[in-house]
Amino acid sequence: MPFTGSIGTPVGVLEVHSDGAAIRRVTWPRAGRTAPVAPGASADVERDPLLAEALAQLGAFFAGERSVFELPFDLGPQSEVTNAVLRALYDTVLLGETVTYGELAQRSGTAVPARAIGSIMGANPIPIIVPCHRVVASDGLGGYSGGAPGEGLLTKRWLLEHEGALPAALF
């Protein structure tokens, strides 16, 4: 049975989807499709302890009180390569760290070229928890498909600054 709840964050409203056994998706809902922002306002939070815990851990992360997510998650139907890359990201790139697309390809133990890593990051169904924002280009931030429409790079920059991986912008 699917459960959904949402939380307001400095990078917009996040919607979290659970099946009761694992977190299955984290999304930025589009205008007009937003679930209740207050976790207590959703009946699903009361029926699914995992969803409630995920929202609490996300709240603690954004408050600067949590550096690691301890939640079961399911990446869904992904290729073996995509699964290996996303698992390597989750397991090896910690808060305050970044890794380049090429470094992540190497860490994953797959033969995927560095250029394909960006597509795999875009396929990540659980951003923030599986921290695809920590993957950067060798010559800059690279891209980011999360956040409100048109604000992907601003969202990525904010997340990396929040984690101490980038110095705060001067303006």
Q: pLDDT at position 169, please?
A: 65
- Is 163 one of the catalytic residues? no
Domain 80-162: give its CATH code. Answer: 1.10.10.10
Q: pLDDT at position 43, please?
A: 67
The active-site residue out of 58, 132, 135, 136 is 132
d(CA 66, CA 115): 31
Domains of the chain, by residue range, sit at: 3-62, 80-162
Per-residue pLDDT 10s for the chain (171 aa) are: 689 999 999 999 999 999 999 999 999 987 655 444 444 446 677 888 999 999 999 999 999 999 999 999 999 999 999 999 999 999 999 999 999 999 999 999 988 898 899 999 999 999 999 999 999 998 888 888 888 888 999 999 999 999 998 776 655
Please state the pTM of the whole predicted model.
0.88
